[in-house]
Amino acid sequence: MRPTPFTINSLWNIALGFPQHGMAYFCTMAFELPLAEEKVKRQQVIALHLIVTFILIATGAFLLLIQYLLNSLSGNEREAFDRLTLPVAWGTVVLIGGFLLLAALLFRAKWLMEKKTNSVLRIVELAVMLIFASFAAMHHLMIPAAIYGLVAAAILFAIYWESVSDNTLYIVIDERGIKLPLTSRKRFLEWWEVENVLLRFGVLTIDCHDNRLFQWNIKAINFDKENFQRFCTEHIGESKEKRTKYVW
């Protein structure tokens, strides 16, 4: 792998600890391997939309049910429910909105997964959940307010997470060890933990000396596989003597 010329930006990134793609700097060589797995998965996006869908349907049905019950009550009984009443149109609109979102998820999921469409829908969902949470809190309905608030918080986090420009996960391998992707339970492997690293047919396999095995599908890479394999083999060999120090 050829060293990449230095720029002010690359030096700044090194100082901050950001890995440089396919770059050798000073005496350190780093290999960055993009994974076929995405940071934001389709099923995760759909799941939160489904949660909002069922909340809308349940809320709309509840509002219509309250309105129906009020029509059969009178006097003090009716006054007890007056604080929960909204115009009938509100319940109908919320219920229809829930069913429309459900239909879109069932028949237009690909369109909803487009970044712009998904972002707009998330903002609308956030606004609706905040309105519901505020209404419930003002009428001292703490459990519904907490539920709406938690869903709003989840949507807010999803807006941030899904807006990340680079949706690709990476494995970074350098002389310090192997930095695993965000989705991995273990985030870093030191060389003494590794028995073998193999990159073949677009699959990266990391075999640890304690029988742990990690595998990922890799996208296109821009470095020489033989150099990569030699780099890993050399560091594994050099660090084997450390195993007796760290392993009982």
Q: How far apart are CA 199 and CA 43, in angstroms?
A: 28
Find the mean pLDDT for residues 11-40: 56
| Beta strands 23-25; 28-38: pairing state | antiparallel
**What are the tens digits of pLDDT across the range 101-118?**
999 989 988 888 888 888
- Estimate the share of the chain in helix, then strand, then coil, as percent rounded to the nearest 5: 55, 20, 25
pLDDT tens track for 128-177: 999 999 988 887 888 889 999 999 999 999 888 777 655 678 888 888 88
Cα angle: 214, vertex 216, 221; to 5 degrees: 130
Nearest to 180 by CA among 60, 28, 19, 62: 19
pLDDT at 111: 86
Which residues, including other chains, have CB under 8 Å from residue 241's CB and lie 6 or more apart? none
d(CA 189, CA 192): 8
What is the per-residue pLDDT across 141-150, written as a single tens digit (0 to 9) for each?
888 899 999 9
Average pLDDT over residues 222-244: 83
What was the pLDDT predicted at 122? 92
Partners of residue 29 on adjacent β-strands = 24
Give the ranges where 17-141 is alpha helix by DSSP (H). Answer: 42-71, 76-82, 88-107, 109-112, 115-138
Confidence of residue 86 (pLDDT cuts 50, 70, 90): low
Q: Which fold has domain 8-38+168-246?
A: PH-domain like (2.30.29)
The predicted structure's pLDDT at residue 147: 92
